[in-house]
Structure 1
Amino acid sequence: MKKYAYIGCLGFIAVITTEFGIIGILPQVAEYYKISIDKAGYLLSTFALVIALTGPFMTLLTSGINRKKVMTASILMFLITGIISSFSPPFWLLMLVRILPAFLQPVYIATALSVAISGADNSKKNELMSTVFNGVAIAMVTTVPFATWISGLYSWEYSFMIQAAVSLVALGNIHFLLPSMPVKEKKSYGSQIKILKQPSFILSTLTNFFMITAWFSTYSYFADYLGKAKGMDTSMVSYMLFLFGIIGIIANKIAGKMLNKNVTVTLAFFLSGTILIPVLLYISNGNLLATIFVIGIWGFLYSPSFLNASTYMISAAPDALEFANSLATSFGNLGVTLGTTIGGWIIITKGVEYTPWIGFIFGILAFLMIIVRNIIEKKGEIISSCSE
């Protein structure tokens, strides 16, 4: 039902504003707490690491609970985080309140997607999922750049106030517009966990992991990269985030339709950006117009990455949708952690201008995983046809 997909999308905007809103203000946070940029990056990488380590278990534990209650509790935690963070607490406390909602983020995403496609025809499921995932692109075009722009005008604490406000709106929509949705039939843990033995699913998981690592080695330091490598100020960075998100909304819509036709080809098409963008950023050098053009292409090819990763993993495990989704979220965030960590290390040791080339390497690894999965599946088809 489309209404449920839009409610899920609004909650996703709150989730993404909280997780990635920090990207635009990392330099200011580092300056305020008098720490290096890579240490400030822990606010993103630790958040992602908690998701990676606990996501599947939390999703399994909550799989029998009323879906409305799960979504409400998740967004409430994001609201509390935004409020406390806006008071510029000591760095250890800021880190702690950043970590808490991370436990429920994959639970929210898996539940919102499940609610969105409940009762839908198979032909419509990918488009409904893309509507929910549009929350990522919408956040990138509205709340994330707006929070960055406001922090540039006043101070970084205002960014967290924006995050809290978005979470409050999402919470109200879930509470008033989503009906009670008790789980009618809870699947056994064993029936869901067995997908971990399937080679195709393992390779899909590795594809997701390498792809997100590739993107976030640079994207985590978007503001720092554009500031130091391309000479843009905070205001210009916020405009670039806006451009990034606008194009991302279009990209998500296109990706949703493409996924209905061929999941693997769609994934490969958008994954090509991990190899193309580093080359284009290098060629654009200090040319402002060329850089803006490249950022537009970057936003188009990056934005559907979480949608593509989830759909690709689900295609290898269609009978365990929520668990597969939670694993997609977890390994995607493990990729965020690794990409952010390696990117931070490269910035400190070499310089921020070298971070896109990390994406180039991990992008190639992701392509190799797709090729291996295709080979294994074709062998399986040949064996099954011979046995018949």
Structure 2
Amino acid sequence: MKKIAYVGCLGMIGVITTEFGVIGILPQIARYYRVSIEDAGLLLSAFAGVIAFAGPFMMLLLSRVDRKNIMALSLALFLASGLISLLSPPFWLLLVARMLPAFLQPVYISTAIAAATAAAGKQDRHKMMAVVLGGIGIATVTTVPFATYVAGVLDSWQSSFIVQSIISLIALVMILLLLPALPVMTKKSPAKHLTILRKPAFIRSAAMVFFMNAAMFTTYAYFADYLGKMNGMNAATISGMLLLFGIMGVLGNFAAGRALGRSLTGTTIIFLAGLTLIAIPIAYSGISFWATVLLIAVWGFLHTPCFLTGQAYMIAFAPEAPEFANSLSISIGNLGISIGTLAGGWVIGRYGIDRIPWAMGLFGVAALSLILLQHYLEKTVQKKAAIS
């Protein structure tokens, strides 16, 4: 059980390094291809968009395939994407290469989580999920800032994709060597999976996850450009800020993983509310170095756990189809990432980069409103049940 979770975590590091590793090098890519920062942002938003729309269908299509094979195929696509990208292809081909592994990204994550939690007791399931999703925090601490640092030192954005390719290769080898065959023991028909789409509570939870992820990436997608233009930081300092952001994210993920066992809704609300409120000081951070450092530390602590809390929250409303719910959660979350990134780019183009934290706050308020409405409706149903 633990071995599966840790191997799944390693693969997650490769997945997240490929998806988010581009954030720190967007300004370099924009300069190289002579495109605007908003157009360069398509490398993230298009990736997330493919996940959003293809993920559920791919999950249904591959729901009966051995989990080890799915995980290996997914990492092979991530490796291929990195190798194509480091060759500096035309921008359109770079965009296509980025989109290629996105078709299987949610399948990998949902499969890794399902494999890790299948043999776990009820109390340990959130812990095993936290181990797999811990790869998000680890990647933001290590590989994402390291890839940005290497690209800055060598003044070569291509070197970032070399780092991404090496990580994907290591993860692929570990999956092939360490994991046993993981056949799906309980095979459900697609119709059985789709029944969760008729549940209003699940639909509300999905909308909340969408707005929460949009809030997370409206500003974070342009992290490097924002710190460079608004806080006057160079590439080396920005990579250090990414490292700090990631370290605090790991700590936040650990805290959230422990808190989820006590209160799923309460933990989700606390981190979401914090993420929403942090938009205000981000907007007024200015050029004070130490104030910015403190702000990024708090921001990272609140940001990364939202992946875990949102995933757990949405799955909780579909216990009869956890793998499909996992896939939908990832797809809905990435739709939020795509829309949030596009919204951030639109705000930059129309109003300036200094305004994107306000868009982040608006998406956060929308997500908070939905989760509070869900909580109110649940309490109302419980009171009626108690009376009857």
Common fold by TM > 0.5: yes
After TM superposition, list the pairs within 5 Å mapping 1:237-248 onto structure 2.
Answer: 237-248=238-249
After superposition, what is the alpha-carbon deviation per residue over 1:222-246, rounded to whole angstroms, capped at 9, x for unaligned?
0001000111111101000000111
2:55 aligned residue: 55
1:121 aligned residue: 121
1:324 aligned residue: 325
Which letter maps to 1:267?
T
After TM superposition, list the pairs within 5 Å mapping 1:257-272 onto structure 2.
Answer: 257-272=258-273
| Counterpart Cα distance in 2 of 1:141 and 1:62 | 32
1:99 aligned residue: 99
Which letter maps to 2:53?
L
Which letter maps to 1:328?
S
2:14 aligned residue: 14
Consecutive aligned runs of 4 or more in structure 1 exceeding 4 Å deviation: none
Q: For structure 1, which runs of at least 5 residues remain unmatched after alignment? A: none
| Counterpart Cα distance in 1 of 2:125 and 2:312 | 10
1:177 and 2:178 matched:
yes
1:36 aligned residue: 36
After TM superposition, list the pairs within 5 Å mapping 1:1-388 onto structure 2.
Answer: 1-154=1-154, 155-387=156-388
After superposition, what is the alpha-carbon deviation per residue over 1:109-147, rounded to whole angstroms, capped at 9, x for unaligned?
000000111110110110111111111111111110010
| Pairwise CA distance, 1:380 | 2.3
Which letter maps to 2:157?
W
- What CA RMSD, in Å, does the superposition of the two structures yield over aligned residues? 1.0
Count of aligned pairs between the two proteins? 387
- Which deviates further from its counterpart, 231-240 or 179-188? 179-188
| Pairwise CA distance, 1:386 | 4.1
| Counterpart Cα distance in 1 of 2:276 and 2:334 | 20
After superposition, what is the alpha-carbon deviation per residue over 1:148-193, rounded to whole angstroms, capped at 9, x for unaligned?
0111112000000000000000001100000011112211212211
After superposition, what is the alpha-carbon deviation per residue over 1:308-335, rounded to whole angstroms, capped at 9, x for unaligned?
1110001111121111111110010001
SS in structure 2 opposite 1:261? coil
Which letter maps to 1:357?
W
| Pairwise CA distance, 1:363 | 0.7
SS in structure 2 opposite 1:164? helix
| Counterpart Cα distance in 1 of 2:5 and 2:194 | 27
| Counterpart Cα distance in 2 of 1:30 and 1:107 | 31
SS in structure 1 opposite 2:185? coil
Question: Is the 2:283–2:355 contact (alpha carbons within 8 Å) kept by the matching residues of 1?
Answer: no
After superposition, what is the alpha-carbon deviation per residue over 1:280-326, rounded to whole angstroms, capped at 9, x for unaligned?
22343221100100000000000111111110001111121111111
